[in-house]
Structure 1
């Protein structure tokens, strides 16, 4: 391992106390008279004049702060005017370092246009050690209005403990010295100054890279032994040295439509939206209940055999077996161990509500025993039993650890007697149904708009969101949704064990799913990943949805707390809403059924297509095949310079062996290599130069701590 990575990770910045940091404003891009940048040190949210106002509205604008003493800066707090303002900053980035001329990026993000202060977490570690700053530069990139930029107040928080800061500064200096030497070593080796390289490395006592990379450079660049180079790279892959690179590679989604191959009549569920699916992983069965076919609500009950790829109707009308009435926008979950399905909620149209002459509309709750094939009404009025009111577009999850059904959100159905009463709709809170005790518990109430003003940090009740359970960590993840006219793209975590909520993201990060779309989520336990599929919103149609968010797939890694977008590489289902998606972790397969495509010319049109979707990841084998092909291609390139006939034989045999001929793009590239047999040798780069470029390309696949510096020394020369 490179020596530079081992010294700079002895101390974690969390060992010190975070305090407010004193600073002076020492440099700025511009300011308007009466609005000096130094006013950001004052926190007067009711004073329109207490702010820095740039002289120009042309980005970027910046202000540089100098701390009284070096510190580990962990957070920046931005105070604002008490109300939204056109001059408020929308997008910004924050830089920091010990030298005002050489700063590194600490954060980049967005601020809301409201009267609430916001805190941005700053990068404050380097190579797993604390990173000291003396200067912090705030760069303003965009405002909420077409106006000049305003910063109202800035607080910096961090660690000032002299022992921590002094130690961090010392290690930073050591790190900088080591990186400078490693840059020199890289430059000397690239240009074949072997004696100077060996002398500097011996005197500095530094490793440029992992020993396998040093060995690879010798065989590939110095000796041109491509067979040994392949073996060395194969060993590096087998040892897991490139696993971090593999994990960072984009994921791909492969969709495939399941066709109805049965010759029997009514052997496939009719088209619908607002239905529900649940999957029994052990039995490899998917259950479907209810929905809206565009004309009427349904109460049919089906099961899909995954292995046989066939549907079977269990009931044309569950009401006849004592089950739930026809409905849509309900929710369903499965207790796989006890083989029980739970069904709760429904949508009532305006005509039905008008016919009700009661203030409250009771909500029923059903269970279905797969073993006996019988329905049971657990409650005819869940609210009277301590549970939620009648709701629709909510979410439920079954927790097998404590045998509990968790329910969150959904819009409360009201009778016509309540229509127009109050200023907003009612949205359900968080409830738990303890299955063994048959008891409801309210964990979070149905917070109203007024309640949320009193408790602004609470998770907003909502509808049309998504929720998944992580069984291993006993966490619920809630994402997105709708509340009144507000489209939400926040993400919350509910800790079942501690009964606490945590806001993971408020939606201001641009590298995450957008708001306003139909969302469906599943959870992959082996990787602790959350998969999110985005349909379309009810306000758009499949034909009008042309942006990259509609019908997109995202993956959220709970360990890194980062989103990544998945690329679909095959024909996929058309964008839709009111569809359902379930996931089988044993086969890494999602199943999608039905929905509403939102076709303006056919408002009653619904779908009954069924699709599978697999997430494809790059593997060690994939990476090895690609790099072996690249290495052999370089050997072929050299052979074309000295013996074209030998090169042709090598192309047709050894190089052809590592080509995926079933891939049209790979096959086309392979065939195009024959043109090199006729290239003018004098016009080609030197062999060593090409070998060195190939080594740099392979080296970049390794983690930075194991490889030569990414930068080049010549790029630091001023002209």
Structure 2
């Protein structure tokens, strides 16, 4: 069996689809998370399970399922409690649909009776007040006041969180014009101390040699400081390296460094390592030894464990051992630390030895200084290199995705549960789920409080995602010129990929890719690159990007691996620029403005039927225009289209479009969107006289007839209801009437 669906239910006649996935064509066990709650987050029980095979791996094969095991809660008391809770939820939801149906049809007597006797709450009390103000009484000013109360109560929060943010990039320059900054490099490592506001940077490849300089950036002071120009000269410190990883432990104020690309880094021999443990050698001795004993792919000594700890408070290095249960010397891996439990996790990468084997999933217990192998290279999560790994601290899970394996770029995603040592495939191909293309060496960061993973993609046939290459090996790619950003929301399974639009479009540069980025701030996004590093500060919701490598020649036919991913057969430019990225999101004030726009639209429409056209026109200009985003073409077009209600022949006080009393004003508004310079007295002069036309111009809104004094037509009632329901789109699901219609539920039963 390849593709399949899973259905569950209490009875065979009423089953719900909870999984649609596929199996790999191998003998490795695969686990799948079955959806066990509905869209409202309520758990539901099941008695029957149906598996529906959809396809097989070959036309000559019959569908076969060899083995299935199920895990879950089978305790009778627990299941019965879930069933009672779910039945109560269904009962409540049915009553809410009935109440909604009755209120929409203005059957308020049975509505109020059911509401009183059942004790069912249809919506939040503030939402009920909003309904009464808009639909029943037409008290528009009170409705706008309630919008502010709704915002304070947090009813807009769900919509704000799920709204599409916009990425804002800004290049950072050192505030000390005479200060040192890290020189150009790629394949370096970075980590962040969010408590003290420090970003640490170590090593990398400058195009000629591997580096061993160590830097710290003060976010508050916006200044770089050099900690060590050559860590090789320090006791127990790491030497020059690239393609390594570095993490910061907030609990102990320490930094861990693991791995290196061994081929071109010119590491020290065992004899040199022993000397380093005794004391630092002179620079001449070290250079001589490195020149005489540079390893090659065909003959080189066994790599020593490349695992170090730096004590930030004491400015002291410590060389750590890697026992037989730990990883070999690897590169292009991923490493994170769970500071709370003091466990470090390492996954993937390739061995820095001649065989270049893939590496599995390991953990390191800081307390007892012991390594453990959690998942082998051929386990549930296929090993890879150049991938991303994110730690989710709330659920204590690892998100592993993308990268390269066996000359193939990947677009899969796995979740590894630390407590159970189980891995679940979330996406076999997230590209098919509106996600990014398969990629390699991408960088990703996570915001646990928002349950979001952020990435950045430079689109072309060769693409970067917070770096990261995406390319079609069959054809030659185009230069890297376009950029876009992505986020992955994991609040639900399998989660959702969304493309983020930048606040400003990429600056159209006529200069070739090899030219330096402009320094005048005109470039909205960082230029395309790879082999860079990104860290994230969840306190300020800011991502920081530094350095990397930019290709001058985009001919992928010449590319092969080097210290930062590519060889020097293709001209490349190392970068030293430093950027920060924040996501600009909708604010509650923006939702209040949009809601007020809807309310004032409806108020204007009704004024056109009861008030003098000029009076309605004044309201349109002075009140409706205030809440229009005139930079938004859609809103501006809708605003101007409201003029058609002034010319509605069915209005008892409407005027002919040719009437000079309103035609001049309408033309002015249509042409410029404004009536600036046109005073009320001018409008009064343009209006027919009271003796001829019988119209009285009212300049005070207080004189407008209250809607409760008028008979409300069904059309106006429908318009008011639509206005109310349009505003409901901004309100949290658990605070408003259920979506859908009772009529649709009846159709489902037929």
Scaled by the length of structure 2, the TM-score of the pair is 0.66
Q: 1:399 to 1:138 in 2, by over 3 A?
A: closer
Report the Cα distance in structure 2 between the residues aligned to 1:584 and 1:633, rounded to whole angstroms: 42
Given the alignment, which residue of 458, 466, 490 partners 2:388?
Answer: 466
Which of 579, 598, 606 matches 1:638? 606
Matches within 5 A, 1:148-547: 150=63, 152=65, 182-194=96-108, 197=111, 208-259=122-173, 267-320=180-233, 323-335=237-249, 340-349=254-263, 352-354=294-296, 357-358=299-300, 360-368=302-310, 370=312, 376=317, 378=319, 382-383=321-322, 388-401=327-340, 406-414=345-353, 419=354, 425-427=357-359, 429-432=361-364, 434=366, 440-444=369-373, 447=376, 452=378, 456-457=379-380, 462-469=384-391, 478-485=400-407, 487=410, 489-493=412-416, 495=418, 501-508=421-428, 510=430, 511=433, 515-524=438-447, 526-527=449-450, 530-532=453-455, 534-535=465-466, 537-538=468-469, 540=471, 544=477
Match of residue 536, structure 2, among 567, 583, 598: 583
Question: Residue by residue, what CA displacement relative to the aligned partner does 1:77-136 show, whole Å, maximum 9, x if unpaired?
Answer: xxx4xxxxxxx33x6474767584x76443333343445675655445556253567795
Asked whether the 8 Å contact 2:331–2:352 carries over to 1, the reply is yes
Determine helix, strand or coil for the equivalent of 1:219: helix
Distance 1:218 1:151, change over 3 A: farther
Alignment counterpart, residue 554 of structure 1, candidates 474, 479, 487: 487
1:615 and 2:583 correspond: yes
How far residue 609 of structure 1 moved from its aligned partner, in angstroms, is: 2.7
Rounded to whole Å, the distance in 2 between the matches of 1:355 and 1:123 is 50
Q: 2:247 touches 2:257 (CA, 8 Å); kept in 1?
A: yes
Distance change (3 Å), C-alpha of 1:546 and 1:247 = farther
CA deviations 1:190-211 (Å, max 9, x no partner) are 2334456556767877554444
> In the alignment, which of 618, 622, 637 is matched to residue 649 of structure 1?
618
Residues 568-717 of structure 1 mapped to structure 2, 5 A cutoff:
568-570=501-503, 571-598=524-551, 599-600=553-554, 602-641=570-609, 642-659=611-628, 663-665=631-633, 668=636, 672=640, 675-676=643-644, 678-680=646-648, 682=650, 686-715=715-744, 716=746
- Classify the secondary structure of the residue corresponding to 1:130: coil
Note closer, same or farther for the CA distance 1:477–1:177 as it changes in structure 2 (3 Å cut): closer
Q: For 1:176 and 1:336, how far apart are their aligned partners in 2?
A: 46
For residues 98 and 386 of structure 1, what CA distance do their matches in structure 2 show?
49
| Bigger strand share | 1
- C-alpha change, 1:177 and 1:358, in structure 2 (3 Å) is closer
Counterpart CA distance in 1 for 2:319 and 2:75 is: 60
C-alpha spacing 1:189/1:260, structure 2 compared with 1 (3 Å): same
Give the superposition deviation at 1:688: 1.7
Q: Check conservation: 1:250, 1:617, Cα contact below 8 A.
A: yes
Q: CA deviation at 1:612?
A: 0.9
- Hey, what does 2:21 align to over in structure 1? 109
Q: How does 1:128-147 map to 2 (within 5 A)?
A: 128=42, 130=44, 138=52, 140=54
Paired residues of 2:468 and 2:531 also in contact (CA < 8 A): no
- CA separation of 1:274/1:124 partners in 2, compared to 1, >3 Å: closer, same or farther? closer
Instruction: Indicate the SS of the match to 1:289.
Output: strand
After TM superposition, the structure 1 stretch with the greater mean CA deviation from structure 2, 686-695 or 145-154, is 145-154
Q: Residue 243 of structure 1: CA displacement?
A: 3.4
Residue-by-residue CA offset, 1:322-373 (whole Å, 9 max, x unaligned): 6543321122233557654443321133795427745512244445555565
State the structure with more CA Rg.
Answer: 2
Contact 1:412 1:428 in 2 (8 A): no
Task: Show CA shifts across 1:278-318 (max 9, x none).
Answer: 22334433222221233432333333332343434455544
- The structural deviation recorded for 1:517 is 3.2
Alignment RMSD, CA only? 4.7
CA pair 295-433 structure 1, distance change in 2 beyond 3 A: farther
User: Is the alpha carbon distance of 1:579 and 1:472 closer, same or farther for their aligned partners in structure 2, counting shifts above 3 Å?
Assistant: same
Cα pair 1:700 1:707 within 8 Å, conserved: no
CA distance in 1, matches of 2:35, 2:328: 45
Normalising by structure 1, we get a TM-score of 0.69
Worse-superposed segment, 226-235 or 237-246: 237-246
Q: How does 1:21-60 map onto structure 2 within 5 Å?
A: none
The structure-2 alpha-carbon separation of the partners of 1:138 and 1:194, relative to structure 1 and needing over 3 Å to count, comes to same
**Per the alignment, in what secondary structure is the counterpart of residue 109 of structure 1?**
strand
CA drift at 1:582: 0.8
Cα distance, 1:170 vs structure 2: 8.8
Residues 592-640 of structure 1: CA distance to partner in whole angstroms, max 9, x if unpaired? 1122345525542333332211134444444333222322232233334
Q: Give the superposition deviation at 1:260.
A: 6.5
Deviates more, 1:624-633 or 1:130-139: 130-139
| Structure 1 residue matching 2:427: 3-state secondary structure | coil
CA contact (8 A) 1:637 1:676 kept: no
Question: CA 1:182–1:149 in structure 2 vs 1: closer, same or farther (change >3 Å)?
Answer: farther
**C-alpha contact (below 8 Å) 1:347/1:392 kept by paired residues:** yes
Q: 1:360 to 1:649 in 2, by over 3 A?
A: same
Indicate how the Cα distance of structure 1 residues 639 and 293 shifts in structure 2: closer, same or farther if over 3 A, else same.
Answer: farther
Give the gaps of 5 or more residues in structure 2: 267-293, 457-464, 504-523, 556-569, 652-712
Q: Distance in 2 between matches of 1:446 and 1:154?
A: 22
Contact 2:483 / 2:525 at 8 angstroms: preserved in 1?
no
2:304 match: secondary structure: coil
Rate the CA distance shift 1:149–1:675 in 2: closer, same or farther, 3 A. Answer: farther
Moved more, 278-287 or 574-583: 278-287
**Counterpart in the other structure of 1:39:** none
The 3 A distance-change label for structure 1 pair 558 and 121 is closer
Please state how far the C-alpha of 1:530 moved relative to its aligned partner: 4.7
Q: How much has 1:693 moved relative to structure 2?
A: 0.9
CA contact (8 A) 1:480 1:489 kept: yes
C-alpha distance in structure 1 between counterparts of 2:641 and 2:401, whole Å: 49
Q: Distance in 2 between matches of 1:354 and 1:153?
A: 48
Given that 2:541 and 2:582 are in contact with CA atoms closer than 8 Å, whether structure 1 keeps it comes out as yes
Residue segments in structure 1 that go unaligned for 5+ positions in a row: 1-79, 81-87
